[in-house]
Amino acid sequence: MELEEAKRSSLELMETAKAAYLTTINIDGYPITRAMFNLRNKEQFPEFSEIFAGLGNKFEIYISTNTSSSKTDHIKKNPKISVYYCDPEDFKGVMFGGEVEVINDMNIKKKIWLDWWTKYYLKGLEDPDYTLLRLKPKMAQFYYRLQKVQFEPCE
**30 versus 116: smaller Cβ distance to a second copy:** 30
How many amino acids of this chain bind a second copy (CB under 8 A)? 31
Q: How far is CA 140 from CA 11, 82, 116, in A?
A: 11, 9, 32
Stretch that binds a second copy, among 45-53, 55-63, 94-102, 103-111 (CB under 8 A): 94-102
User: Applying CB under 8 A, does 147 fall inside the site for a second copy?
Assistant: no
Among 27, 43, 120, 152, binds a second copy (CB under 8 A): 120
Q: How far is CA 67 from CA 7, 93, 120, 124, 153, in A?
A: 32, 28, 11, 13, 27
**34 versus 111: smaller Cβ distance to a second copy:** 34
CB of 26 to a second copy, least distance (A): 8
Burial (CB < 10 A; 0-12, 13-18, 19+), residue 34, is middle
Please report, as residue ranges, which positions from 29 to 88 form the binding site for a second copy (by CB under 8 A). Answer: 29-35, 78, 80-82, 84, 86, 88
Residues in touch with a second copy (CB under 8 A): 18-19, 21, 23-25, 29-35, 78, 80-82, 84, 86, 88-89, 91, 93, 95, 97-98, 120, 139, 141, 143, 146
